[in-house]
Each structure stands twice: as C-alpha cells, then as structure tokens.
C-alpha cells in the first residue's frame, strides 16, 4: 500500500473590516492509517477514533478500511479538555476470499497529540492492552488523566505508531538482548496473527486459554490480550503451548513461520511485559519515589564510573525520569549540590514542590526544587551542627512536617512545617538512657505516618518497629517483627507492612549470631575505626548474613497493634528491601537477593481472588522477573506500572577492599525496570498513607 502525503488543513472564517482580519479559526488534522496483520492488510474493518479523559470516551469519527487496509480520519480542534486519543478497528477480512472475522478488535493508543500516520496491528494492540491494562473496560478507555497520559506515553517504547513495527526501546541494548520482553511480545503477536488470519477455531482456542480466573471469557482479540495483561501468570503455560501448536516448525526448517522474531523457546512463569531504563546519573539506587506528575526520582548511592566499593565510596546524586523512562537529570552526576552526597533511603515530596533527600556519606539533609532539580539547601546541606550521622528514611506529613531518621546515631529529626530553623533531634540517649521518655530507636531505617498521625519507624539493627504519636514522641511503643526490618508502608486502612530483611531465623543460634554481628563486632571496633569504616563493616556483615542465611519475610501490624505474619510467599521472598502498596491495598515486595517482585494479597477481601487470604502471594512462586538484579526500591505509579530499582550488580567486586580493575566500576547496578499495568494505580506523591483513585 502507498501512503498519501498527510495534510493538515486550516479552515478559517475570515471577516475583513478596514484593514483588520478577525474571526475564529479551527484546525482539522487528517490521520492516514492502515489496519494490518502479519504484514498483510485487513479490508472492510470499521475504524473509530476516540478521545478519552477521566470521563467516558467520546467518539470523534469513524470510517471503514479499503481493500488494502488503508483509511483516513479527521480531528477538529476545540475540545476544552485535551485527553488521550485512541483508535479501535473491528471486524474486516484478511483477503478477498475470506469471510469477515467478528473476533477482530485491534487498538492503537495515540496519546494527547495524534501522529499524522498510524498503523493498527497485532503489536499496537498488545502494547495498548498492557500499558492501559488498568483503564480498559470492555474495549473503552477511561481513568485518571495522569495515568492515561502515562499509559499512552509508554506505547511508543514498545511499538512504532506509524509503522506498527517494534519501538526503539524494546529493541535497544538494555532490552532486546537482555530480557525476554521482546520474545514475549513477539510470541503474543504470533498468537494474535493466527487468530486474525482466520484459521479454523484458532480464535476460539485463544479465548479459552485467556479466560480470566473468575471464568470470564474474552469475545475478541483486544479483550484476550487485556486478560493476559491483567492476569499474566494465569494459564501461562497453556498460552505458550497454544503458540507452539498454532505455529509449528515446518518440515525441513529450523524456525517457526511467524511474522515477528525472536519468539520464546520456553513457557514463561508470567506474561508480564517490562522495560529497562538507564541514565540520568542512576547507579546503585537506594530510595526512590514518584512525584505528582508521575516522574520517578532516585537516590543514587554512588556515582556511575566510580571505583566504588563498600570500603571506599564516591557519592552519587539525584536522578529523575519521565513516566516513559526518559532521563531528565544529568547523565553522570544526576542533580547535585545542596549537600547531596550519596543519598540514601530517604526521599519525599512536599506540597510546595520541594524534594527532601537524606544523605549517607554526607550525613546531611538536602532540599531540591522538584521542577528544576536545583538545590535549595546550602552547599553543605543541613547537618544540625554536625550532629547527624548516616541518614535514611524521610517523610513529609500531611500537615507539612518533615520527619527523618539517623541510622548511624540512633536518632530522629523532626522539622515542623519544613522549617529547618525549627528542627529538633529526638531519640538521643545520655549514658544509655533515652532523653525523650520511652522513645529509643536502634538503627532506624524506614519511616511512615498513618491516618492517626502516628509515626512508625523500623529498627534495622534489631527486630522491632517503634510507633509514637507525632504530637508526643515520648509516648513510644515497640512491636516485635522479624530481624532487621527496613522498608515500611501504610495501606489505606492504617495497617503497617514491614519488610524484614533477615526475617525470622528458624534456629535460635542463627539469631544469636546475627545479633553478635550487629551489636558485638561493630561496637568492639568503634574505638579504632572511622565512622565510614564502621558503617562499611556493618554493611559487609549484613550482606554476609543475608547470603549465609537466605530468607526474609513480611510482617503486618494493624492499627490496634496486633502483629500478623510472617508472610514470605512460600519462601519466594528473600531479603525484602522495598515495599509498596497499590490502589487495591495489595502489597508489592522487592526481594533483593532473589531478584524478583512478589505481590501479596492485602486486607480488602473485595480486591483479592476468592479463597485467597491476607498475605497470600498473588504472583507465581518465581515472582515477576525480567531485568532485575539485586533490587531495592519499588513504587506504583498512576497508570498501575510498578517501578523497581536495581541496586547492586557485581557484589564480589563491591565487597572487596581492592576490586579487580576490570570490574572495579561495576559494584552498583545502573538500571530501572518497569512492569506495565500490573497494579491498581495510586495517587502520587506519597504524603501519608497510600491513596487510590
């Protein structure tokens, strides 16, 4: 088929009056396109252009394809609320002799600004079904405006909207040869091709294999792909077996006769689609968070290209990525200045467009402008007259107060209203006794606030969580969980979910050894070691324990103080570093040492499958995989995408005092992984407990 040259026509009503030209003008954009399958055309298909916002989608125009699959549509400007455009193609025939196939429904999500030329085919349908998985309802697209824009913005990473071929990101060096995403994408494309091409009973078999866990069968190709995107582990092997049956290797040949290569050789544990991103100073990430526009911010412990080890470190900066994975911060340094030096676990956003960041090596608190990344804190950061140690978790409370924890010096910093001049240090001890009533923390790491304005802090050098009223820190109480709790998140019902890095060792002698590592050995060395050396040895000991006694689990503490769990997804959760809650109150866990992501059922029965209890895994035993290394933070965005930061890459080099030269810059990992459409969307930024839409 030959595309016609696309024209954008300006139609104006002109009124002339004594040398003046006045009057309203409206712009008409013509979209030229093609509906295709396996490189061929689909004729006589009904093509409809829709625009959607947070309300129901609005039909813009409709037409039918010619015999060669071509079509033209027009858009007229003037809609008050710019939304997301998308195309739906239904029915049609694949050749002159074929009967119309009523099972055909294809989709291309165009975004707020449609391109002039488009293709609607198998790959655009899969890309659209996955990125908009949380917004598709019986083929109609609707949802929160930010999430819709994020979903649309990620489609071009997977597929070229003009040609219908692979997009630039899915085939780049980080994705094409490094993950199974491209092969999964192509395998699903082959399944759709077989159905659309009209082979007997193919669509029927596809619809049987993609029936949802509750027994809801799809009626068309788009809903089949949408079902796989929503339930990627359901019938995973059966879907792969269908592909092998529908596309056998022809006699005398080595490869299957399919339109898209490469394809899978083995059944996946789940049909997730994920992409890997890098740049922007991202390296050895600590904490991460999503701002109100859906941008992903990262605390980069160390600087890319540095010969960092756990014993000698070159501090990194702050990273910022657009919702489509494009780096928005400087390539090597990230955003820096204002005391930024090896930012740790703590990052939070305030309502006045500030980014609050805590630093490990710098032992300071820094503040950046969320819009520009410019430092707002002084060059040396805020260090409270040198009283701060290695800083970790930070939160901004709904009332604007900032709370953060000092992991090294066992103290808490409270900054009322975000006013540094009013800041105070809590939890200090004098001669071993707490200054602030019962408030005492041990290796504080994660911090959160619940709906009752109570502060929760995980004690990473112990097996406890501390809770106290924000208005009265002296009324603190402790709860026993697993050993070395790190991340913490509060769901919409006020339950606190805690990731215990080491968990509950089954043999008491193991627990005694762990305590010895944390309390005895480090304490004994303090007199002859610098603070940096003490911290390095602590991390080295922790890493040794994690690897010698693999495990870890999740605890849940209800608002009334009852501890539930531990939950470990039948052993799938190991070294849980990051935790996030989605809009259904289900729990997402980043297992650092097993390099996997696990979803646990939350407390709301209506958002989990029948027969599934709180804490049960909703993902396969392997968890979700793809591009993951030793992972740390995890977050859910407004489109339901799950972002995961890779922390370590070459740990053997990183835990050596003098690493091999060829591997000396490879301790930290340099990539982010995003799983599309797998979670219920949440409202960012996280100020207080999670909020769904």
Q: Which CATH number fits domain 282-496+524-540+556-675: 2.60.40.1930, 2.120.10.30, 2.70.98.10, 3.40.190.10?
A: 2.120.10.30
Res 22: pLDDT: 38
User: So what's the pLDDT on residue 56?
Assistant: 85
Tell me if 8-121 shares its fold with 282-496+524-540+556-675: no
Q: Does domain 8-121 have CATH number 3.40.50.170?
A: no
Which of 271-280, 457-466, 533-542 has the weakest average pLDDT?
533-542
How far apart are alpha carbons 630 and 562 in whole angstroms? Answer: 32
Count of H-run helices and E-run strands, the chain: 10, 40
Question: What was the pLDDT predicted at 449?
Answer: 98
| Res 78 pLDDT > 70 | no
Q: What is the pLDDT of residues 575-633, one digit of tens each?
A: 999 999 999 999 999 999 899 999 999 999 999 988 999 999 999 999 999 999 999 99
Distances (CA, A) of 2 to 32, 70, 74: 11, 9, 19
* Stretch 289-314: mean pLDDT: 95
522 vs 68 pLDDT, higher one: 68
- Residues 364-382 have a mean pLDDT of 97
Helix (H) or strand (E) holding 541: helix 531-548
688's tokens: 């207080």
- The CB density around residue 540, as the number of other CB atoms within 10 Å, is 17
Mean pLDDT, range 462-484, rounded to an integer: 95
DSSP secondary structure of 119-164? EESHHHHHHHHHHTTTTEETTEE---HHHHHHHHHHHHHHB-TTT-
Query: Domain locations in the chain?
Result: 8-121, 282-496+524-540+556-675
Residue 259 pLDDT exceeds 60 = yes
For residue range 121-139, list pLDDT tens digits in order.
999 999 999 999 999 999 9
Q: What average pLDDT score do residues 191-207 get? A: 88
CB 276 within 8 A of CB 627: yes
Q: What is the C-alpha radius of gyration for the chain, rounded to an integer number of angstroms?
A: 27
Check if the beta carbon of residue 223 is closer than 8 Å to that of residue 206. no
Report, as an integer, the average pLDDT of 547-565.
Answer: 90
pLDDT in tens, 391-441: 999 999 999 999 999 999 999 999 999 999 999 999 866 555 666 666 889
pLDDT of residue 524: 57
Average of per-residue pLDDT across 480-500: 97
Model confidence, pTM: 0.92
Residue-wise pLDDT tens digits, 146-178:
999 999 999 999 999 999 999 999 999 999 999
Closest CA to 560 of 493, 482, 614: 493
What pLDDT digit, counting tens, does each position of 272-299 carry?
A: 999 999 999 999 999 999 999 999 999 9
Mean pLDDT estimate for the chain: 90
User: What mean pLDDT is predicted for residues 447-452?
Assistant: 98
Beta bridge partners of 51: 58, 85
Q: What is the pLDDT of residue 514?
A: 59
Supply the pLDDT for residue 504.
87
Could you tell me which residues come within 8 angstroms of residue 140 by beta carbon, excluding any fewer than 6 positions away?
50, 52, 56, 57
């Amino acid at each position: 088929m030959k595309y016609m040259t696309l024209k954008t026509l300006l139609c104006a009503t002109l009124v002339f009056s004594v040398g003046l030209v006045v009057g309203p003008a409206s712009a008409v954009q013509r979209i030229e396109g093609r509906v295709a399958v396996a490189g061929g055309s689909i004729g006589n298909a009904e093509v409809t252009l829709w625009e959607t916002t947070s309300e129901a989608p609005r039909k813009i125009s409709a037409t039918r394809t010619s015999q060669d699959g071509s079509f033209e549509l027009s858009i007229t400007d003037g809609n008050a609320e710019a939304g997301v455009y998308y195309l739906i193609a239904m029915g049609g025939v694949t050749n002159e002799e074929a009967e119309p196939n009523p099972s055909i429904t294809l989709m291309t999500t165009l975004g707020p600004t449609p391109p002039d030329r488009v293709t609607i085919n198998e790959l655009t349908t899969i890309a659209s079904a996955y990125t908009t998985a949380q917004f598709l309802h019986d083929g109609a697209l609707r949802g929160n405006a930010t999430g819709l824009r994020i979903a649309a913005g990620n489609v071009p990473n997977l597929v070229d909207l003009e040609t219908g071929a692979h997009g630039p990101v899915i085939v780049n060096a980080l994705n094409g040869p490094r993950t199974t995403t491209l092969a999964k994408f192509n395998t699903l494309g082959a399944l759709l091709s077989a159905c659309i091409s009209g082979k007997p009973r193919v669509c029927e078999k596809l619809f049987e294999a993609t029936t949802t866990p509750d027994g809801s069968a799809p009626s068309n190709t788009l809903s089949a792909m949408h079902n796989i995107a929503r339930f990627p582990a359901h019938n995973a092997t059966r879907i792969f077996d269908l592909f092998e049956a529908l596309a056998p290797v022809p006699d005398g040949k080595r490869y299957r006769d399919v339109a898209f290569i490469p394809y899978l050789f083995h059944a996946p544990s789940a049909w997730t689609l994920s992409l890997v991103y890098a740049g922007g100073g991202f390296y050895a990430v600590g904490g991460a968070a999503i701002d109100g526009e859906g941008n992903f911010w990262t605390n980069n412990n160390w600087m890319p290209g540095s010969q960092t080890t756990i014993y000698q470190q070159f501090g990194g900066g702050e990273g910022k990525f657009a919702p489509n994975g494009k780096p928005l911060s400087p390539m090597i340094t990230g955003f820096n200045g204002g005391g930024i030096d090896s930012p740790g676990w703590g990052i939070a956003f305030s309502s006045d467009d500030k980014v609050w960041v805590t630093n490990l090596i710098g032992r300071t608190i820094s503040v950046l402008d969320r819009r520009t990344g410019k430092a707002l804190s002084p060059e040396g950061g805020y260090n409270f007259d040198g009283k701060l140690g290695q800083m970790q978790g930070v939160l901004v409370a709904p009332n604007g107060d900032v709370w953060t924890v000092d992991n090294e010096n066992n103290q808490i910093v409270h900054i009322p209203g975000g006013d540094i001049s009013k800041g105070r240090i809590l939890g200090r001890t004098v001669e071993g006794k707490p200054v602030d009533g019962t408030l005492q923390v041990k290796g504080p790491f994660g911090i959160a606030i619940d709906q009752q304005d109570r502060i929760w802090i995980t004690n990473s050098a112990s097996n406890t969580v501390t809770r106290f009223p924000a208005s009265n820190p002296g009324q603190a109480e402790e709860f026993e969980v697993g050993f070395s709790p790190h991340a913490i998140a509060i769901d919409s019902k006020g339950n606190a979910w805690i990731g215990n890095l080491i968990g509950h060792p089954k043999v008491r002698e193991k627990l005694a050894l762990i305590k010895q590592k944390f309390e005895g050995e480090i304490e004994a060395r303090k007199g002859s070691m610098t603070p940096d050396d003490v911290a390095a040895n602590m991390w080295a000991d922790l890493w040794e324990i994690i690897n010698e006694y693999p495990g870890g689990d999740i605890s849940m503490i209800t608002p009334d103080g009852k501890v539930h769990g531990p939950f470990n997804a039948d052993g799938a959760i190991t070294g849980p570093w990051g935790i996030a809650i989605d809009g259904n109150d289900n729990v997402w866990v980043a297992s650092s040492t097993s390099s996997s992501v696990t979803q646990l059922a939350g407390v709301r029965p209506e958002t989990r499958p029948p027969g599934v209890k709180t804490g049960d895994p909703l993902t396969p035993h392997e968890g979700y995989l793809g591009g993951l290394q030793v992972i740390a933070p995890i977050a859910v965005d407004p489109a339901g995408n799950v972002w995961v930061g890779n922390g370590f890459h070459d740990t053997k080099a990183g835990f050596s005092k003098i690493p091999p030269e060829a591997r000396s810059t490879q301790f930290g990992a340099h990539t982010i992984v995003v799983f599309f459409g797998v979670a219920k969307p949440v409202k960012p930024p996280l100020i207080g407990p999670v909020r769904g839409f």
